[in-house]
């Protein structure tokens, strides 16, 4: 790359963008994704391609399966992108991920191997599914208003995605009552339940986090080679392994500070963004899916007066298009 080349941010989405058929197009078109799926299968002890493409036992939406499946798909999209680039020297200035996606970002940054990332999120998903309870509610409330409501109903803030997009999480009965009050007091505000098995990133995840700390301690982390965003702090990770471990521990029961992460990235002069993995929408094929983070990222750009180009590398066509532009 030269001084005129863009400073690129790689981003990876979190839970909720998994779908049956995920990765089928990649496995047909590229060698790199086939290797990623094979390595992931060896780690988890089941065939990852069968889970993602066919989901024969309807398990893909269970957290213990969702998390390793999504990280596998994200890294497979990245492998396909690199394959398309060929000899082009394209590297990100910063990597970041929303919640679960932070693990894929740490692979990009050299802190984790593919195998260790898949193993970590497999166990993370198991613990969150086993010890978690409740659910999550995405709202168009600002943080101050959302926190005041959450406190009344013994709920917590699970994410600060935008200045007026706050996720509230708690036990189902508490969240039901809170949602009713939102409808009565704020009729113009939206509230939507998310596809999760628990009140992630709140105090209801403390037991899962306590048990996950032992898992984190057993995995080898290496110093960062690429700047990486921390959901817990909203800034950049410290480069040393112990700092990374502690941030991933605290991430489990503290809000995802996504808008703060975007502010940090934009302040670093990011002018191109590539999203890898997952997909939303009612269409059944990868080509019909839309990227998970695009809306939040573009709204964050407008709020911060940032004009970075955005590329969705979530299926074969999008990956090839992004590689052609950036390579």
CA distance 169 to 156: 5
What does the block give as tokens for 28?
């047909």
CA separation, residue 77 to residues 34, 70, 74 (Å): 11, 11, 5
What does the block give as tokens for 266?
């934009």
CA distance 297 to 293: 6
CA separation, residue 298 to residues 77, 137, 311 (Å): 21, 21, 11
Active site members: 99, 201
CA distance 219 to 113: 10
What does the block give as tokens for 3?
């001084």
CA distance 282 to 15: 17
């Amino acid at each position: 790359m030269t001084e005129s080349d863009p400073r690129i941010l790689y981003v990876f989405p979190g839970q909720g963008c998994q779908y049956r058929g995920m990765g089928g197009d990649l496995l047909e078109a590229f060698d790199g994704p086939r290797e990623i799926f094979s390595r992931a299968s060896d780690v988890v002890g089941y065939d990852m391609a069968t889970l993602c493409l066919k989901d024969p036992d309807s398990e893909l939406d269970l957290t213990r399966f969702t998390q390793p499946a999504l990280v596998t798909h994200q890294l497979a999209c990245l492998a396909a992108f690199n394959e398309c680039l060929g000899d082009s020297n394209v590297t990100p200035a910063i990597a970041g991920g929303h919640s679960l996606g932070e693990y894929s970002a740490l692979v990009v940054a050299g802190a984790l191997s593919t195998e260790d990332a898949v193993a970590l999120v497999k166990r993370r998903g198991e613990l969150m599914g086993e010890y978690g309870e409740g659910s999550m509610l995405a709202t168009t409330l600002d943080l101050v208003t959302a926190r005041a409501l959450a406190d009344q109903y013994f709920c917590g803030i699970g994410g600060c995605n935008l200045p007026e997009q706050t996720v509230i999480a708690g036990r189902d009965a508490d969240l039901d009552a809170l949602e009713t009050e939102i409808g009565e007091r704020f009729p113009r505000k939206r509230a939507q339940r998310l596809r999760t098995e628990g009140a992630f990133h709140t105090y209801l995840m403390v037991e899962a986090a306590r048990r996950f700390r032992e898992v984190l301690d057993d995995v080898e982390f290496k110093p960062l080679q690429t700047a990486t965003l921390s959901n817990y702090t909203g800034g950049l990770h410290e480069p040393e392994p112990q700092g990374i471990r502690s941030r991933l521990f605290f991430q489990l029961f503290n809000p995802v500070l996504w808008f703060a992460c975007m502010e940090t990235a934009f302040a670093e002069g990011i002018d191109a963004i590539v999203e890898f993995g997952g997909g939303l929408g009612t269409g059944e094929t990868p080509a019909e899916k839309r990227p998970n983070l695009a809306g939040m990222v573009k709204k964050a750009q407008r709020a911060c007066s940032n004009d970075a180009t955005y590329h969705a590398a979530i299926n074969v066509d999008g990956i090839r298009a992004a590689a052609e532009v950036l390579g």
